[in-house]
Amino acid sequence: MHTKVWKMNLTNILDQDIQEAADMLKAGEVVAFPTETVYGLGADATNAAAVRKIFAAKGRPQDNPLIAHVASTEQLKELVTFIPNYVYKLIEAFSPGPLTYILPANDYCAENVKAGLSTIGVRIPSHPIALALIQGAGRPVAAPSANVSGKPSPTAAGHVYEDLNGRISGLIDGGQTGVGLESTVIDCTGEIPVILRPGGITKEQLELEAGTVMMDPGLVTSEDRPKAPGMKYKHYAPEVPLYLFTGSISAFQDFVDKEIQAGSRIGVLVSDQTAGIFPENTHMHKLGETIEEIASSLYDGLRFFKQANVDKIICETFSEEGIGQAVMNRLRKAAVSVIER
Ligand code: TXA
Ligand code: MG
């Protein structure tokens, strides 16, 4: 299959190309597109055959439901049977944006979008290209992250191309995404909202609008099964094994020193500040200074060492405040193990 690529950016959205991509969606084809979180792999959410192509292209397990992307609150309402009051507050504050609402579903979307559940995840993305595409298609667009299942989510068109070239009909290259981690998934079927996947909107931000917000126990302990089917899988794994390091800066230095002396070829994934403690010739990839920058460049960092002749990646751990919670959630799922010193 030939993958058609359209190149555009935020200041130059090409209406004709968007419409061509939207027409592909309407014709039952799959098209990858940028959002403010990560690239999505879209299909007409009302067309089961089109949705099946998403699962096939990604090699995605059939029991893992997809998020339906819509362009407005009005369109969101068409997909669900009930919206609790706190969701209106959350929509007011955070949508369009990186927040996905799990709500009781009607049968507007195809069954396989929900993977057999009675609920559906709905998100209004804020990326202008994503919004234009959904509007052009005139229907909800089902879209998981546009990576091969198990790999880090794509934050640049090059990542999508690397994973899915030849397996999808189209790819809108809109440059780098912003947040860099996936949306927060929040279960809104009960009286109190429950975070099923930490992400772009933090627990603290949600609580300011909706009062108490809980964390899915499946995220915290290994005894409980996560409620979002996708969270039980090993995820975001780079091709080179990843280890997390927790301990003092000097212990980190020691550890890396000893590894290098023992002849292991390691790649070090760190913040700009931590990078400063290692000698110039250490094989390093810097993720940025602030936790927001680190979130934004994390998946690119995880993919970076693939071509770089290393046997393992050692990444530092970060404070779990704000989006740090989502960063650490993804790192733990990507890592082989944690080294504690
Ligand atoms: O930022 C994002 O959310 C990106 C962009 C493309 O919008 N999408 C994304 O989709 O990350 P995906 O499929 O990679 O992850 C969706 C997560 C999975 O863990 C899935 O199990 C969960 O949301 N999910 C979807 N529908 C659900 C439902 N009805 N109930 C519980 N969890 C659900
Ligand atoms: Mg994904």
Q: What is the pLDDT of residues 94-136, one digit of tens each?
A: 999 999 999 999 999 999 999 999 999 999 999 999 999 999 9
Segment (H or E) for 272: helix 272-275
> Which residue among 185, 219, 323 has the greatest number of ligand 1 atoms within 8 angstroms of its CB, and so is best to mutate?
185
201's tokens: 């909107």
Residue 242: phi and psi, rounded to 5, are: -110, 135
Q: Is the CB of 251 under 6 A from ligand 1?
A: no
Tell me how far apart the alpha carbons of residues 254 and 257 are, in angstroms, rounded to a whole number: 5
Q: Is the CB of 329 under 6 A from ligand 1?
A: no
Confidence of residue 237 (pLDDT cuts 50, 70, 90): confident
160 CA distance to ligand 2 middle (Å): 12
DSSP E strands, the chain = 4-7, 31-33, 40-44, 67-69, 99-104, 119-123, 141-142, 170-173, 184-187, 194-197, 214-215, 242-246, 266-270, 284-286, 312-316, 337-340
Section 249-264 average pLDDT? 94
What is the model's pLDDT at position 216?
A: 96
pLDDT score of 233 more than 80? no
In DSSP terms, which residues pair with 197 in a beta bridge?
185
Q: Does 25 or 235 have the greater pLDDT score?
A: 25
pLDDT score of 307 more than 80? no
What is the model's pLDDT at position 220?
A: 82
Q: Is the CB of 36 under 6 A from ligand 1?
A: no
Q: Is the CB of 68 under 6 A from ligand 1?
A: no
340 CA distance to ligand 2 middle (Å): 28
Ligand number, closest to the Cα atom of 231: 1
169's tokens: 């009909």
DSSP 80: B
